[in-house]
Amino acid sequence: MERVVPPDAARLLGEARRVVVFTGAGISAESGVPTFRDDLTGLWARFDAQRLATPEAFDADPDLVWGWYEWRRARVRRAEPNPGHLATAAIQTRVPGSVVITQNVDDLHERAGSRAPIHLHGSLFAPRCVAAAAHPAAFPSTGDGEAIDPEEGRRTPPPRCTRCGALVRPGVVWFGEALPEAALAAAVQAAAACDVLLTVGTSGVVYPAAEIPTVAARSGAAVIQVNPEPTPLDQVCTVNLRGAAAHVLPALVA
């Protein structure tokens, strides 16, 4: 397929009336939150996703899984939003009809001032009862996530639901689980209606989230990618900006 001649990304963004910023773990990398799939530093280079990020893993060893998420929560609490998160919030201020869609389970977009980011893969800070469908509000406070090194094998028993006594689980979307229906519908709708979609710091390999840039491209939006590495999303991008989000995004909105 013939490649589109890369137009000026800043001009595309400046003229857009509806922008979607679609983010992945890479936007939080410079805040010290590890990505998943980067060589050496990615979580999946050090930990086994099948033992930690599936419903089966939680069933088999809830203490191991809860302890790992306590460690993750503690790391995120110590992190601060970086210039990439701040530039994302600035886009939302400048272009009122813009939406942030994130696969991230951290709260750095919120802390940077982004308005109502759509969390496709849940949140580290919204644990829920395993029987949540029956009583969604029933979970106790979950401790302060003191630093835990999972490599020391420190298991932590999850709390119990105050209403029914069932286990409380991390409020994230594990492999094989459906994404939150309302969030996915809102994300698809925003992507289909935008003029420009910025895809930032995602490997674009986890579905159905990875479809979002394609939804925008098919609807006629320009897709601008910010990532130091090539990804499968290169195919749908109008412009590829190879670099770190914390450097490229502020330059793009300057």
Question: How many Cβ atoms are within 10 Å of 247's Cβ, its own excluded?
Answer: 17
Nearer to ligand BJW, 231 or 238 (CB): 231
Nearer to ligand BJW, 172 or 190 (CB): 172
Active site residues: 121
Nearer to ligand BJW, 25 or 216 (CB): 25
Nearer to ligand BJW, 15 or 229 (CB): 229
To the question of whether residue 143 is assigned a binding role by annotation, the answer is no
To the question of whether residue 244 is assigned a binding role by annotation, the answer is no
Minimum distance from residue 98 beta carbon to ligand BJW (Å): 19
To the question of whether residue 80 is assigned a binding role by annotation, the answer is no
One-letter amino acid identity for 38? D
Asked whether the bond before 34 is cis by omega within 30 degrees of 0, the reply is no
**Residue numbers of the site for ligand BJW (CB under 6 A)?**
24-26, 29-30, 35-38, 42, 53, 103, 105, 121, 172-178, 201-203, 205-208, 226-229, 231, 244-245
Minimum distance from residue 57 beta carbon to ligand BJW (Å): 11
Nearer to ligand BJW, 103 or 240 (CB): 103
Closest CA to 42 of 171, 248, 229: 229
C-alpha to C-alpha distance for 119 and 135, rounded to whole angstroms: 21
Minimum distance from residue 110 beta carbon to ligand BJW (Å): 16
Task: State CA 150 to chain mean position distance.
Answer: 22
C-alpha to C-alpha distance for 230 and 120, rounded to whole angstroms: 23
Minimum distance from residue 167 beta carbon to ligand BJW (Å): 17
To the question of whether residue 207 is assigned a binding role by annotation, the answer is no
Minimum distance from residue 49 beta carbon to ligand BJW (Å): 7
To the question of whether residue 235 is assigned a binding role by annotation, the answer is no
> Using an 8 Å Cβ cutoff, are 233 and 210 in contact?
yes
Closest CA to 202 of 248, 145, 245: 245
To the question of whether residue 194 is assigned a binding role by annotation, the answer is no
Per-residue three-class SS string for 123-184: CCCCCEECCCCCCCCCCCCCCCCCCCCHHHCCCCCCCECCCCCCEEECCECCCCCCCCHHHH
Taking CB positions, which residue lies at the least distance from ligand BJW?
26
Task: Compute the radius of gyration of the chain from its Cα atoms.
Answer: 19
Residues of each annotated binding site for substrate: 69, 72
Residues of each annotated binding site: 69, 72, 103-106, 129, 161, 201-203, 227-229, 245
Residues of each annotated binding site for NAD(+): 103-106, 201-203, 227-229, 245
